[in-house]
Amino acid sequence: MSESNLEYEFEFDVRLPKDLEIGTATSSWQIEGSVDSRGSSIWDDFAKVPGAIKGGITGEPAVDHINRVEEDLDLLKWLGVDAYRFSVSWPRVIPGGTGEVSQEGLGFYDKLVDGLLARGIKPAVTIYHWDLPSTLQAAGGWPVRETAERYADYVEVLANKLGDRVDRWATHNEPWVAAYLGHAAGWHAPGIKDDAKALAAAYHLMYSHGLGVERLRAAGAKNVGIALNLIPTFADTPSAEAAAHHIHLLQNQFWLDLLAGKGVNAELMAATSHITDWSFVNEADLPLIAAPIDWIGENYYSVTRTTDVNLGGEGGNGQDTHAFPGIPDTAFAPRPPVTNMGWEIYPAGLTYVLEMIAQNLPGVPIWVTENGASVTDVVDGNKVIDPVRTHYIRAHIAALLDARKAGVDVRGYYAWSLMDNIEWAEGIDQRFGIVRVDPVTLERIPKNSALWLREAIQERNQRA
């Protein structure tokens, strides 16, 4: 999609409030590289499957963050962000998934945390952003309960080492994606297409969240939460309403209900009873999963619109009925403008989803832990021109502020992503960075969107 049809004017002026924490986010497998200095993950295995990742991209060199960490820290300092959200690679810390800890691997994150603090930036850690150790996949992966117990041991290692300095912890990033793109649609690692396993994975991810919260708190860690990708889902036609509702249950209500102490959503269990008997649910886990969290993260990019099958909507990336076990026949119909991912740009959806979270989890402060767009950048000398991304970010901050006006307690906004990186199965063609990474030299060049964010932060800091 060319930029031209995305050009549109915004009739507002966004000024960052003093009490909104501004950050950027990344994840380990997408940026680190240095694969040989850690254990293997399911994404390394997936990358070996012909055709699984576009362009045959692997985790090496990614954007070589392991070797360029000082430069990347300086970039964050230059940007002026309050916080940086990164994820820890489990197989870098515990190469075999369980057992021996790599002091070198753990030491990398220890220095990263210190490097952030030395620059006045708050470290926000995501414990699991999809790179499960291969050994644990061989033992059954997330469809089996024991994986959650291995995860809890990994959490304890991190909490003991970093708990005194990390500002904010997320047990998981988007468990919906790990469960359903990984085990139902099979587009993501581990590339399984088995609806029953996907539902079990979703539950065990949340069980592991509960265990993780417990271990974090036991180690004295503060600000413990989780980052979800709840998506407003609307039906374009009355006959597509059942599909929209089914998506809502899988994508939103399942996670919110478990966190709110309402257990596994009964309607979803009934609607998927032909797929699984849900016997993997242990009632005794539910209070643990619902232990109050200090904050919740929302990663927001777009909305989902269902329509009649015969209207033949194509859907954006990730909008595939195979990702939704038990869904009635439907098609997806994103409305223009869309990004290069085919995702509809719909800032009002952010306001909507923030209100939805507040209704389901009253009293839990919300951080927008990811928001951003893959659009085509124009490189002109040392400038990188990306007006649509800048507009996108501004429009979504404005939508966040609308939710605040409606009384929702939103405390942070993190742009995805600090820099261009591996967009999972999409390889390196989809570029979400506010900083460009040259695909050949890996040189970092701030895009105009980064310049805008930097100026907006400076203006905020100077304001009385």
Q: Residues 21, 22, 27, 313: which binds ligand BGC (CB under 6 A)?
A: 27
Active site residue 370: yes
Task: Give just the sign of the alpha carbon dihedral 134, 135, 138, 143.
Answer: negative
Q: Which stretch binds ligand BGC (CB under 6 A): 11-19, 169-177, 248-256, 436-444?
A: 169-177
**Alpha-carbon gap, residue 374 to 378, rounded angstroms:** 13
Residues 216-235 that bind ligand BGC (CB under 6 A): 229
Q: Residues 34, 223, 299, 304: which binds ligand BGC (CB under 6 A)?
A: 299
Q: What are phi and psi of 104, to 5 degrees?
A: -65, -45
Q: Which stretch binds ligand BGC (CB under 6 A): 141-149, 157-165, 170-178, 242-250?
A: 170-178
Is 171 a residue that touches ligand BGC (CB under 6 A)? no
Q: Which is nearer to ligand BGC, 257 or 423 (CB)?
A: 423
Structure tokens at 318: 């990730």
Q: Which is nearer to ligand BGC, 285 or 423 (CB)?
A: 423
For residue 340, give every residue at least 6 positions away whose Cβ sits within 8 Å of its Cβ, in sequence order, or none: 1, 374, 375, 376, 430
What are the beta bridge partners of residue 92? none
Q: Which is nearer to ligand BGC, 76 or 235 (CB)?
A: 76
Q: Which stretch binds ligand BGC (CB under 6 A): 69-77, 158-166, 173-181, 265-273?
A: 173-181
Q: Residues 82, 377, 386, 423: which binds ligand BGC (CB under 6 A)?
A: 423
Q: Tell me, what DSSP letter sits at residue 9?
A: -
Task: Give just the sign of the alpha carbon dihedral 418, 77, 437, 107.
Answer: negative
**Alpha-carbon gap, residue 252 to 324, rounded angstroms:** 12
Q: Residues 173, 233, 319, 390: which binds ligand BGC (CB under 6 A)?
A: 173
Residues 359-418 that bind ligand BGC (CB under 6 A): 370, 416
Pattern 229-268, ligand BGC, x by CB under 6 A: x---------------------------------------
Q: Which of 298, 370, 423, 426 is catalytic?
A: 370
Determine whether 283 is exposed, middle or buried from the number of CB atoms within 10 Å of its CB (0-12, 13-18, 19+): exposed
Q: Supply the minimum distance, in Å, between the C-beta of residue 229 and ligand BGC.
A: 6
Q: Supply the minimum distance, in Å, between the C-beta of residue 308 and ligand BGC.
A: 27
Long-range contacts of 3-12 (CB under 8 A, 24+ apart): 3/375, 3/376, 3/378, 3/387, 3/388, 5/336, 5/337, 6/337, 6/339, 6/345, 6/375, 6/388, 7/387, 7/388, 8/337, 8/391, 10/391, 10/394, 10/395, 10/398, 12/394, 12/398
Active site residue 174: yes
Q: Which of 32, 156, 174, 344 is catalytic?
A: 174
Q: Which stretch binds ligand BGC (CB under 6 A): 59-67, 171-179, 202-210, 276-284?
A: 171-179
Total residues at the site for ligand BGC (CB under 6 A)?
Answer: 11
For residue 45, give every residue at least 6 positions away whose Cβ sits within 8 Å of its Cβ, in sequence order, or none: 134, 137, 189, 190
Please identify every residue annotated as catalytic: 174, 370
Site for ligand BGC, rule CB under 6 A: 27, 30, 173-174, 177, 229, 299, 370, 416, 423, 432
